[in-house]
Structure 1
Amino acid sequence: MMTEAMPLWVEQREEVAVFTELAVEWRGLLRRSVVDTIFLTPEFQRVWWEHFGHEGQLLMLLARDPAGTLQGIAPLFASTEAGQRLLRFVGGVDVSDYLDLIVARGHEEAVYRAFMQYLCTEAPPWDVLDLHCLPDHSPTRSGLLCQVCRECCPEGVEALPEQPAPYIPLPGKWEAYLDALDKKQRHELRRKLRRAQGEALLRWERLSDPAGLEEAVETFIALHRASHPEKEAFMTDAMAAFFRDLARALFPMGWLALYTLWLDERPAASLWCFDYGADLLVYNSGFDPRFRPELSPGIVLMALCIQDAIARGKARFDLMRGGENYKYRFGAREGTVYRLTVRCPRVAGTRAMPSA
């Protein structure tokens, strides 16, 4: 379909091949968007869909201008819950921290209008557009999409905070980072680093050799499961398979930063991070609880990762979704992700949206 306000052609794709066929174009559009995040790359989205999309129907919308240039992607899928047809982001909620519509910067209103007009007139019937994990700087949550949605669904649009997403803005030097911490936390962090280095043979590394990828991933999975009963429950065989395939997809791109800490030559802690753009994003962690608590392997490795991120010139150490206290002890500032829901009205079995 072609929209009237700005000539954008919307195409619907439902086959899995779209992730690989459009990969180069997709990444190019992502770089031109406001929300350029690892979770919206075709590589991450493809792996998620292959592992968790089996109960849904892919509903990928592409918006192109008359020259054929890709200006927007709505990476959606449809599923049915409690009798309602839901449209959600590919990436889900459990393993993706930031999701969004992918829209060329400066073309947000035209693309949002094109997508909503398509959803309200030509897409398969749906009841709720349920968009999780929108970053606080997303134009999608800032009002533009809400404004367009209200034209289609005047009484069914709601945008609310969903979860904290703390982050640490990084200075140029490690000492400057320490100086910015609360005095007590600065003292505690230095003390933990000295104790770990003084009471055990400490070694840590960020994986760089592809030959070591499988071993490093298995070490992470084992430490993740060992660190807490809730993490053990999370890391099912199916979830472990997802992490393995994600590592295989992202490591060749340079986007996987897998850190491991050894104490006395035994794996003590592991951090699964993403190195993407100017950010180092902490995705998940694990540690061996058999080590003496005062050695604090998880805290020590987190501090070493921050130090490494600063040395690599990163601007932001992103601790992502979840308001756990330890994040703020590292000096994190408050971020937020939002949830936008749009309820589709049914009038005599039809849906309509006024033209712009």
Structure 2
Amino acid sequence: MGGAKVLKQVDISSAEVGAWACRTDAPAASQAGPRRTGASDAARLQPYRVQWETEREHDPVFLREWQALMAASSGPEPIYQSPEFLQYIRATSQDRAEVEILTVRDAADGRLLALTPIRYRDLAMGLQVRYWRMKLGSLHVGTVMGSGVLGEESPAVLECMVRFLLAERPRVVALSLPALPQQSLSQQSLHQLSASQRDLGICVLNGWRECHKIPLPGDFNAYLAQFGSKHRYNLKRQIRLLREHAPLELLRIDQPGSLDQLAAAIERLAPPEVKAVLISREKFAAMARLGMLRCYVLQSGGVPVAALIATQYGETLHLHNVLTDPAMLRFSIGTSILYLAIEDLCSEGRFSAIDLGYSSPSHSHQSSNRVEIRGHLLLYKASLRTSALCLAERLFGEWLERAKGWHQALKGWRARRDAARGAKAEKVTKAS
């Protein structure tokens, strides 16, 4: 992976093109560097200039262009595309080249058309169930942060970006989009690109999955109005029982000075496999300094009994983990802390949703959730090894989905059997 750089910019109608250009009448060539063309070719070129602009990440003019694309974006995870998240990575990583900024500009007037931060990593490929994984191999990938391109997502623009990235960074064998919406323009464009290019393959790791969002109306009463009277009564009853059990306090963790309370809750509530994947205290502190951290800790009698590990950006709270005390499950403690957190979020009036990401939530707010189908899409350089790894993941994912279906069917059968037995016992009791 090379260092960050800005390629020379010249007018597309001049004798040679200094960044990257794509033909309108044929797919871009896959040579190992920027193509150079004569003036006679200019009429057949797309009006795009693709380049690295990592060195401009602190340039006020560039940041205004970036923020304008952010404001117009409807992508699934804007927090990871933001300048603030890049600052977080810079503050917590020793590798300056871990993230680069790739842009597409109009070759005629220099307007910023599309932008994506690219983060390089080794993606483990294999078989995974929750926290257990059998690794079969790894691929060095460029991750499209936020799982979408900011700005224009046309097939022509995406093709130019993909060709440029793979040519400029030969170690990269695939483009990774971890949470790409199935109905997005980017998904359609990337599948079109794969279908038209023999040297590119595409796969969705672990299949398309449900992602849940909890919409938040303007105030808490409007949120509760979505539910029936019985549901509202049960929610309030849970909180009342908790308060009767012991003094109850909800702590909002969004400042570096309150991280001791978060650390204590994690230490008490998180099982070992969750602690192993949580970020470090230093990274929590960096997020708090940049205004991206917003966790909640629920204390009962001064003891942490539940915690929400979350980040915030714009109008969305991204919920990553729900930690609960098993001894308090009789109080529906997970639902209770979510209820209280939603009340706090609504009190500010700026939040429009809680994004739960990939999940099958069992809490009682599920009836109000909005479901979006997303998947981890890989666009890769076609090779026997990469294709075999993707095939193994796909086959295992399909088998796992069937196994989940069988498990759910078995649970349903048992529930119906138990209900029938209960009804029969009640009938016998009444008869006697």
Residue 304 of structure 1, CA deviation: 0.7
What residue is the counterpart of 1:301 in the other structure?
A: 337
Contact 2:194-2:200 at 8 Å conserved across structures:
no
What residue is the counterpart of 2:149 in the other structure?
A: 102
Residue 103 of structure 1, CA deviation: 2.1
Contact 2:292-2:311 at 8 Å conserved across structures:
yes
Gap change, CA 1:68 and 1:325, over 3 Å in 2: same
What residue is the counterpart of 1:31 in the other structure?
A: 71
Gap change, CA 1:245 and 1:102, over 3 Å in 2: farther
Gap change, CA 1:322 and 1:196, over 3 Å in 2: same
Contact 1:2-1:8 at 8 Å conserved across structures:
yes
Distance 1:202 1:318 in 2: 26
Does residue 216 of structure 1 match 2:253? no
Identical-residue share of aligned pairs (%):
23
Gap change, CA 1:21 and 1:149, over 3 Å in 2: farther
Note the 1:92-131 alignment, pairs <5 A.
99-104=146-151, 106=152, 108-119=154-165, 121-124=167-170, 126-131=172-177
Distance 1:58 1:173 in 2: 38
How many residues align? The count is 325
Distance 1:304 1:80 in 2: 37
Q: Compare 302-311 and 333-342 and name the one that shifted more.
A: 333-342
What residue is the counterpart of 2:252 in the other structure?
A: 206
Quick one: which of 305, 323, 344 aligns to 1:268?
305
Gap change, CA 1:80 and 1:103, over 3 Å in 2: closer
Query: Larger Cα Rg: Structure 1 or Structure 2?
Result: 2
Question: 1:62 corresponds to which letter in structure 2?
Answer: T
Distance 2:295 2:247 in 1: 20
Distance 1:159 1:211 in 2: 38
Contact 2:269-2:305 at 8 Å conserved across structures:
no
Residue 132 of structure 1, CA deviation: 1.9
C-alpha distance after superposition, 1:1-54 (max 9, x if no partner): 3223543333358x9x88778994655543343316213334445656887998
Which structure shows the bigger proportion of residues in helix conformation?
2
Gap change, CA 1:252 and 1:123, over 3 Å in 2: closer
- Give the match's secondary structure for 1:186: helix
Distance 2:248 2:139 in 1: 53
Note the 1:12-51 alignment, pairs <5 A.
12=52, 24=63, 26-35=66-75, 37-44=78-85, 47=88
Unmatched 5+ stretches in structure 2: 1-18, 23-44, 125-135, 384-432
What residue is the counterpart of 1:139 in the other structure?
A: 185
Residue 308 of structure 1, CA deviation: 1.8
What residue is the counterpart of 2:193 in the other structure?
A: 148
What residue is the counterpart of 1:79 in the other structure?
A: 122
Distance 2:93 2:245 in 1: 44
Higher relative contact order (CA 8 A, sep 6+): 1
Distance 2:90 2:373 in 1: 25
Does residue 189 of structure 1 match 2:189? no
TM (norm. structure 2) is: 0.63
Gap change, CA 1:235 and 1:138, over 3 Å in 2: farther
Residue 212 of structure 1, CA deviation: 2.3
